[in-house]
Amino acid sequence: MTDIINHQHYWEYFLAIEDDLVKTSRFVDFSTDNYPTYSIEFAKIILSSASEFDVIAKLICNKISPNKKAGNINDYREIIINEYPKFPTMEINLTRYGIKLKPWASWENDSNPSWWTSYNNVKHERNKFYHEATLGNALQSSAGLLCGLLYLFRNTFGQIRLEPGTQLFESRNSTILASGLICWDFKLPDD
């Protein structure tokens, strides 16, 4: 039970990022036509979610191979794919908007996602790459973080039951608790 309590703050942080993302939908409709739209808010969401994935990926890699170096995205890809070969096939849905995301699909081709490159561009040279702080990259990076969290929780606890559930991302396996909270039970591609 201690692990669940210790890991809950990762879930709460994701929910805070997701809440910021939801608020942007009042100004920019979540549609593929608007994926190129860029803004300060999208930059904050991308920087927060990709940076948090970095933290989560190190935890996953440490659980898988505590003696292997996991210092960057290439190390994460190698370690995670060796343990979870179907990780890149994970699909995250925003059913309300008709959007399906596979944020790690490029890992199947031994390359990193374009949104990850944009994250680094915005982080290191925002003066040149501010235009890459887009809705599309914000959605992908948030979904990428969710994938990492789901695998971390699955790897740590043997099951995934998230309370409260998310506002954007949906699952067919949801349960409404007496408190009114929605929690999810996920089945991952590698299960």
Total-model pTM:
0.88
The reported pLDDT for the residue numbered 1 is: 42
Q: Determine the structural domain holding residue 86 and report its residue range.
A: 2-159
Quote the CA–CA distance of 79 and 71 in Å, as a whole number: 11
Task: List the pLDDT tens digit at each of the 191 positions of the chain.
Answer: 445 446 778 888 999 999 999 999 999 999 999 999 999 999 999 999 999 999 999 999 999 999 998 999 999 999 999 999 999 999 888 888 999 999 999 999 999 999 999 999 999 999 999 999 999 999 999 999 999 998 888 766 655 556 677 777 765 444 444 454 445 555 667 66
Q: Give the pLDDT of residue 86.
A: 92
Positive or negative, the Cα torsion across 7, 13, 16, 21?
negative
**Tokens 């170096």 map to which residue?**
69
**180, 128, 153: which is closest to 5 by C-alpha?**
153
The answer to whether position 30 is within a domain reads yes
108 vs 54, 84, 96, 150, CA distance in Å? 19, 11, 28, 19
182, part of any domain: no
pLDDT reported for residue 154 = 74
Overall number of domains in the chain: 1
Whether residue 165 is contained in a domain is answered as no
Q: Which of 161, 148, 123 is nearest to 55 (CA)?
A: 148
Does 66 map to a domain? yes
**Residue 183 resides in a domain:** no
In a domain? residue 172: no
Q: Would you say residue 126 lies in a domain?
A: yes
